[in-house]
Amino acid sequence: MDYEVPSIWRTMQAKGYSRREFLFFCGVAVAAAGLRANGLAQVVEAFESKPRPPVVWLHFQECTCCSESFIRSSHPIVADIIFDTLSLDYTETLQAASGFQAEKTRDETMKNNQGKYILLVEGSIPMAGDGAYCMIGGKSSEQILKEAAEGAAAIIAWGSCASNGCIQAAKPNPTNATPIHKIVNKPVINVPGCPPIAEVMTGIVTHVLLFDKIPELDSQGRPKEFYSRRVHDTCYRRPFYDAGLFVESWDDDAARQGYCLYKMGCRGPTTYNACSVTKWNANLSYPIQSGHGCIGCSESGFWDNGPFYQHLGAFPGFGIESTADTIGATAAAVTAGGVAVHAAASAIRKRKLVNIQRAEAEKSEAAREQKEAAPEQTENDGGEEQ
Amino acid sequence: MATARIATYQKMYVWELPVRIFHWLNVLAILVLIATGYLIGAPQKIFDAAEPSQQYWFGIVRFSHFAAAYVFFFNYLFRLYWGFVGNKFAHWSQFIPVTKQRLKEFYEVVVVDILHIRNEREVGEGHNTLAGLSYFAAFLIFLFQAGTGFALYSSMSDSFIPSLFAWVVPLMGGDAWVRQWHHIAMWFFIVFTIVHVYLVIYHDWVEGAGETSSMISGWKFRKDESDDAE
Ligand code: SF4
Ligand code: SF4
């Protein structure tokens, strides 16, 4: 039962990696975790001495795009090593074991590594129908998650499903899909995105491995190093935006010239992600570079913020075509109409009043003229001549 | 009955200089904010031929929006302060009907000026109760607009004031929603302006107290009631 956990370097040696490859991996880890070059020694030391942490990777309501993204990390060696070194003790998608055997592995990993294993969660938790919408091995997702979260050293929520519910949570959210940070009462690292960028995922795992603690998070639980800027802030089309040069329709000349996609519904200005810096597919490109606006996949509730090809979202309760502007313009028109009606009514109803006032004023004016002509004859008893 | 009496008018100092300055700065800021805000939400195709390196007009539109927002915000804070130290017409209690008399006036404004059921009422000097209440609502929306605006701005700025409002973003469910509400609130300002300008003209016409010019000069006029007693 006693479980001697080797270090990452030992594990790599056992798998046949050379020292050179190990150092290369450490170098990449330094970059991925956002350390300075002089952090290399620290990383090498950590990976030589620290026991390699076991990992439990749970899958609930999801499409596995996060796993797909992760295994396509741009440095194959990093992905390999992370997969080899993080002993992925349990992950439904990739493990060889199945059935009772698989469940047993998970339970054992958790038991033998209380307070030490890293818990990665992909997918949201259906809370409706007593959790019947997603059950594994006779247990509800909520049960499995709570058990696993109990002894975890760190919990990472992969992707938008686990961080904010994603498409399952889109209105009307029939299964009551719930992000995990609302269920476990421990700090959760949210890594939203549909899927998150592979390099962001490896970067965060590396950070946790290296420092044994969670990276600095923002108010929504996202690691600041990757989610503190909007896609828009570092978008290479930004100069077009600032110059007011926009694509007006999908195949116009502006689109061919690579103008900003703001008016085509690009969500870059409201989306916090590293796409425009880290890019996708080994730093090859990202949606905007391929001519399509950002759909804001890492923002909570992005499925309900559509339509994707319209700059302003649809306004809730007023139909898919109506934006804030439709409603505002209608309100302004109604107001202007109301003002016109009121003005007309006032002209009729208050005319008499105004006419009386005018007549009084005229009378008073006449009286004053008279008084100026012959002051002593006025009836005004407040006059100075008394 | 030889001649008619001479109506005399009392000249009353109602809007102090700071109130007037607030008002017109507010007008300026709001006009700039609406114009630039609308353009940011729905940019028009203006300069299409030039290279991006040669122009920055959308950047300028945004910059003007942010600059005007600061003017608007500090002006607003100043007005709140003046609500405590200014004269009785500027006092905060003018905006929230607390006394019985003001509630009665509220009713009368609705009956006489809005619904035209009756034709005349006793006209006070400062804001009427309904107007005061609508300005109170406007002040809440000013705050909402400043809060959502600075919340959106907080992600691109390290300065102190926007960071005070950063918590609004998660509360409203992300930048997209903050932006949506910020945009819809802009329409409130447009509707408010229409109604406000119209009612100023209406009151000026019906009451003849110099409503419009009072916001420039500070003075309003009231027929001397002692004359009528004659
Ligand atoms: S394409 Fe999108 S992210 Fe890029 S500058 Fe335009 S609006 Fe911003
Ligand atoms: S560009 Fe936007 S929609 Fe595309 S992956 Fe990045 S955050 Fe998601």
Segments of chain A with pLDDT less than 70: 1-4, 74-89, 313-321, 374-386
Ligand 2 centre and the CA of A297: distance in Å? 5
Q: Where are the domains of chain A?
A: 8-223, 229-311, 350-385
- Please name the residue of chain A whose CA is at the shortest distance from the CA of residue B228: A360
CATH fold label, A8-223: Rossmann fold (3.40.50)
**Which pLDDT score, from 0 to 100, does residue B49 have?**
65
Candidate from A220, A233, A244 with C-beta closest to B46? A244
Residues of A in contact with B52 (CB under 8 A): 239-240, 242-243, 245
Residues of B in contact with A352 (CB under 8 A): 119
Residue B227 scores a pLDDT above 70:
no
Q: For residue range A172-188, what is the model confidence (pLDDT) as tens digits? A: 999 999 999 999 989 99
- Please name the residue of chain A whose CA is at the shortest distance from the CA of residue B179: A270
Integer Cα distance of A16 and B72 in angstroms: 66
| Mean pLDDT taken over chain B | 85
Pairing of β B9-13 and β B219-223: antiparallel
Place of tokens 């930004």: A238
Integer Cα distance of A267 and A319 in angstroms: 20
B97, B129 contact by CB (below 8 A):
yes
**Which pLDDT score, from 0 to 100, does residue B186 have?**
92
What CATH superfamily is the domain B9-42+55-223? Transmembrane di-heme cytochromes, Chain C (1.20.950.20)
Residue B8 scores a pLDDT above 80:
no
A58, A120 contact by CB (below 8 A):
yes
Ligand 2 centre and the CA of A270: distance in Å? 11
A189, A221 contact by CB (below 8 A):
yes
Q: For residue range B41-95, what is the model confidence (pLDDT) as tens digits? A: 888 887 666 788 888 889 999 999 999 999 999 999 999 999 999 888 888 888 8
CB contact under 8 A, A361 and B58: no
**Which pLDDT score, from 0 to 100, does residue A28 have?**
82
CB contact under 8 A, B53 and A371: no
Which has the higher per-residue pLDDT, B139 or B229?
Answer: B139
CB contact under 8 A, B206 and A325: no
Q: Does domain A229-311 have CATH number 4.10.480.10?
A: yes
Q: For residue range B13-24, what is the model confidence (pLDDT) as tens digits? A: 888 999 999 999
Helices B175-207/B129-154 angle, 10° precision: 150
- Please name the residue of chain A whose CA is at the shortest distance from the CA of residue B186: A328
Q: Where are the domains of chain B?
A: 9-42+55-223
Residues of A in contact with B6 (CB under 8 A): 364, 367-368, 371, 378, 380
CB contact under 8 A, B191 and A364: no
The binding-site residues of ligand 1, defined as CB within 6 angstroms of any ligand atom, are A 231-232, 235, 237-238, 241, 260-262, 266, 268-269, 288, 293-294
pLDDT band at residue B229 under the 50/70/90 scheme: very low
**Which pLDDT score, from 0 to 100, does residue B121 have?**
74
Which has the higher per-residue pLDDT, B211 or B27?
Answer: B27
- A302–chain B Cβ distance below 8 A for any pair: yes
Alpha-carbon Rg of chain B, whole angstroms? 22
B72, B8 contact by CB (below 8 A):
no
**Which pLDDT score, from 0 to 100, does residue A86 have?**
61
Ligand 1 centre and the CA of A134: distance in Å? 38
Q: Phi-psi bin for A115: left (phi > 0), alpha (psi -120 to 50), beta?
A: left
CB contact under 8 A, A243 and B57: yes
Cβ-based neighbours of B157, under 8 Å, separated by 6 or more: B163
Q: For residue range B111-126, what is the model confidence (pLDDT) as tens digits? A: 777 777 777 777 777 7
Ligand 1 centre and the CA of A293: distance in Å? 7
The answer to which of A337-341, B101-105, B222-226 has the lowest mean pLDDT is B222-226
pLDDT band at residue B5 under the 50/70/90 scheme: low
Ligand 2 centre and the CA of B213: distance in Å? 54
- Chain A to chain B Cβ contacts (< 8 Å): 162
